[in-house]
Structures are given as structure tokens and as C-alpha cells.
Amino acid sequence: MANIRISASLSQKDREAVMEAIATIKEKLPFLIDLTADERKSLPKLGDKSRGFVIKALQVATQNPDFLPRSFDVNEMRLDVELFEALYPVLLSLTQLQQLVDDTLIATGSEAYIAALAVYNYAKASGDVSGLDTVIDDLGRRFTRKSRKAQPQTSPI
């Protein structure tokens, strides 16, 4: 097998520890919410370009609350800004971790698939080895395509 990018294993104990760590993260962030796809689309997004705007607006609201309607909750705005700022580095770290897990999963899956193809091709090329015919046929099912049903012919009227 050529180009092995990763050769590692994850013990059951380590996997359980990782899953516990993920559970701990969820436990420490009990306020996380799950938006629908429509909610995601409809909400205005706060990105890097707008962060400064939001922080300045909070400063203006804090220093000059007189022009705001009584229903405007400056403290709630402050909590939202503070939570956003606190979660932002967490998101960056989790995004990086997810990318590493995704890339590792893709690479290991690819290596496993390439190895399986080699096994299948070697088994096919070996000819009649007792007992392999059934296994080769079983492995070969991965490559069989479903035939399209013939469209019924309609006679012209």
C-alpha cells in the first residue's frame, strides 16, 4: 500500500474519555440552542466586520441610556456581547478540532478502502483458491450496478 498518511489506533478507553470530554463541554454550555435551517437564514449574522460596530454601540448605549426606549435592556445587550466574545475562541478551537477529525477520518477511510480494493483485486487475480469464490462474489457486489428497468414501450396512436 502506497502513501500511508496515518497509522494509529484509538483505544476504547481513550474513545470513552473523549466522549466524556465532549459531554463535559455540553454540560458547561447548558445554554446552547439548536436553530432550524430557516431560523439560521433569517437571523442577521455578527461577523468579524460587525464586531467593532456592536462593541461601540454597546458603549454608546451604556454611556447614553437616556435616548433609548425604556423597553431596551442594555444589560441584556451586554450579556449577549460578553457571551459572544467568550464563545468565539471556543468556536475557533472546536472548528479546528472538527477539521482535524474530518481530515483524519477521510484519510483513514481512504486508506482502508484502497487496502480493501487491493485485497479484492489480489483475490480475483489469484484464480481458483478453494473457498474464495463465494467471498470474491460477496466483495464484488459492491461494484454491481442496478440495471435500469426498461421503459415500457408505448405504441404510437
Q: Could you count the other beta carbons within 10 Å of the beta carbon of residue 19?
A: 10
Give the pLDDT band (50/70/90) at residue 155.
low
Which pLDDT score is estimated for 22?
97
> Is residue 3's pLDDT more than 70?
yes
For residues 30 and 25, give the distance between their C-alpha atoms in angstroms, rounded to a whole number: 9
pTM passes above 0.85: no
Q: Could you count the other beta carbons within 10 Å of the beta carbon of residue 47?
A: 6
Would you list the domain boundaries of the chain? Answer: 45-142
Which pLDDT score is estimated for 145?
74
